[in-house]
């Protein structure tokens, strides 16, 4: 099996994305990645991140979120308003992708990606293959970015979709008013 076939098999289930740390885990050298990029088999998206050439974007628009998270490293996750956006809990600015990382991040990212260096890692979950912050924490994290009325709508919507139970809903509303 060629290096490209190994990369393809790994990346196809990850929005076509292939980070260099994954190459090291699979025994593929950085030089091989550079050569494949020069030949047009891989597209370099950011430092340490490539996308395979035969990738077809998904129709649901989650590719941009997956790419934003992957650009920020291994332990990065979708944060705050971006989580509310993909769960469709309340209106947010879809042109901004909020990503948090527990590691110091000083790399360059594409326009529209906002990186939060949160040294204390938060509880995360996986949504459609993307690591994201939990719904309750995402609502609370969005307090200084989104108006309180919209966050209260998000709490109601999260309960309706089963993302919050009634106890979590009450505690979240209490905390939103306490911090407002």
pLDDT in tens, 94-149: 889 999 988 887 777 778 888 888 877 678 999 999 999 999 999 999 999 999 99
Other Cβ atoms closer than 10 A to 108: 8
pTM (2 decimals)?
A: 0.86
DSSP characters over 121-157: PPPEEEETTEEEE-HHHHHHHTTTTS-HHHHHHHHHH
Residues 17-60 have pLDDT tens digits of 999 889 889 999 889 999 999 999 999 988 888 999 887 777 77
pLDDT digits (tens, 9 = 90+) for 157-178: 999 999 999 999 999 999 998 8
């Amino acid at each position: 099996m060629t290096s490209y076939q190994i990369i393809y098999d790994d990346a196809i289930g990850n929005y076509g994305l292939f980070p260099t740390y994954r190459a090291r885990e699979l025994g593929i050298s950085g030089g091989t990645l550079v050569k494949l990029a020069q030949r047009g088999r891989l597209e370099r998206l950011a430092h340490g991140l490539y996308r395979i050439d035969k990738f077809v974007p998904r129709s649901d628009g989650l590719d941009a979120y997956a790419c934003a998270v992957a650009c920020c490293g291994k332990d990065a996750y979708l944060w705050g308003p971006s989580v509310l956006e993909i769960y469709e809990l309340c209106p947010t600015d879809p042109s901004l992708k909020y990503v948090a990382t527990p590691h110091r991040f000083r790399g360059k990212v594409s326009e529209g990606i906002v990186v939060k260096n949160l040294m204390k890692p938060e509880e995360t979950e996986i949504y459609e293959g993307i690591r994201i912050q939990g719904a309750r924490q995402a609502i609370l994290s969005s307090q200084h970015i989104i108006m309180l009325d919209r966050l209260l709508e998000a709490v109601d919507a999260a309960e309706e979709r089963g993302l919050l139970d009634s106890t979590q809903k009450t505690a979240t509303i209490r905390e939103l008013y306490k911090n407002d």
